[in-house]
A = this chain, B = another copy of it.
Amino acid sequence: MISTPNLPERLAAVVGPAYVLTDPADLAPYLTDWRGRYRGDARCLVRPGNTQEVAAVVRLCAEAGVPMVPQGGNTSLCGAATPDGSGAAVIVSLARLNRVRAIDPLNNTVTVEAGCTLASVQEAAQQAGRLFPLALASEGSCQIGGNLSTNAGGVQVLRYGNTRELTLGLEVVLPNGEIWDGLRGLRKDNTGYDLKHLFIGAEGTLGIVTAAVLKLFPLPRAQITAWLALESPRAAVDMLARTQANFDARLTAFELVSDLALDLVIRYIPGTAKPSGPAPWYVLCEFSDGGSEAELRGQVESWLGECLEAGFIGDAVIAQSVAQAEKLWQLRENISEAQKIEGISIKHDIAVPVSRLPDFLARADAALAAAFPGIRIVAFGHVGDGNLHYNLSKADRQANDEFIACQPEANRIVHDLVHSLAGSISAEHGLGQLKREEILRYKDPVEMALMRSIKQAIDPRGLMNPGKLL
């Protein structure tokens, strides 16, 4: 290791002095995550302007033996972009790599730099008459490099897949400062190990993603949104299978909402109201098509009519306008916000096989009610992905404060059950700092050893985003 006191100056020589922050006041926003859960320290933050500069920054840090923390929009829910408290790290911000490099409508691809916000990628696609389907609450500020590094999910995974499935090629600066140009836009390419999948979801621990070739899709011309009332999660899972049999990929969202979750939204979010008769569970579903809206509407109406008659669903409301559809989506999208207004809660982001969702809910609800009398469970999520957000609190504020202290016990109950159902304790959000220890309880040691051998092969000195994921 060479001496490092002049590292900020050497970095400034590469990227320009304006793009190296060392003043604690300037640095502060980058040293904590947006939920304020983690706080760290850093030598400096550096903002390279292109891939070559990222590579030069990485080479300088690597020569100095200094750890690097890549940071995009800093919207991680697991502290994956927050440095540790040692102050040893350099934060590498990708914000200036924000160009759309190319768009190829006939190949259905867009080539973007890591610092593009998700919204700007969506916009570039739309301007070319195409859809980039990844959609998240934080899309205005999260960056595509972060989406790639955490394999972000969202509400359209049912039809289009996670970020991983939306990616054809990557450009990555490796821990030694070399650039891997894997920016291929091919649907088929069987010429060796598929390296891009190593970096997607690696949370910056194997290198810094600087650009990607992403898949585009035709823009749907018709969309029909419907709200269904259901007796149980089992009814929702059955209804999903039936509806997919009829509509296949034209069913583009199928979101579960519990009555309790809906109640919170109605209570705290102005202008909201129950769209249907009351029921213990609801599903917000969306159908999309490239053809005529009238035709799609007719098919959805007749299908939901059949299901009502057969008793598969208790009620169904079909939005008659874009405004009505947006009202329905508001009910789903404001659950987290409503819950936040009411107070703090213990959150889970779990997945199980779709067929076991009802089992998970029945058993988790029962075990938690037994362990924590008076517990309030707000469950909602993506039925088709087997992915639930499963948030726990108590109605009374003081009781809730005591309950929050029981997070480890509550996690244990939920995660052990998820594991026994062959599920995942982090479906969408990654491990970051938050679940890095917790995962050791559940991952097969053979898998952990494989992961460590990959890390050792690509980042032998452990300089890339230390303390995250592994």
Interface residues, chain A, with chain B CB atoms under 8 Å away: 104-109, 129, 150-151, 153, 157, 159, 161-162, 164-165, 174, 178-182, 184-195, 197-198, 200-202, 206, 217-221, 237-238, 241, 244-250, 288-291, 295, 299, 351-356, 382, 384-387, 422-431, 435, 439, 442-444, 446-447, 450-451, 453-458, 469-470
Contact = CB atoms under 8 A, between A and B. Distances in A.
Contacts of A246: 218, 290-291
Contacts of A455: 193
A201 to B, nearest CB: 6
19 contacts: A107-B354, A108-B354, A161-B165, A164-B194, A174-B450, A179-B446, A180-B447, A184-B422, A186-B422, A187-B387, A188-B427, A190-B430, A192-B470, A193-B451, A193-B455, A194-B197, A221-B245, A247-B290, A456-B457
Nearest to A185: B353
Contacts of A386: 107, 186-188
A151 B107 contact: no
Nearest to A244: B218
A351 to B, nearest CB: 5
Contacts of A151: 190, 194
B190 A426 contact: yes
Contacts of A446: 174, 178-181
How many identical chains are in the complex? 2
Nearest to A193: B451
A354 B109 CA distance: 10
Given A186-B386, A191-B425, A248-B289, 17 more contacts: A106-B237, A107-B353, A179-B446, A180-B450, A181-B444, A185-B353, A186-B351, A187-B387, A190-B427, A191-B431, A191-B443, A192-B201, A194-B201, A197-B197, A246-B291, A249-B249, A454-B454
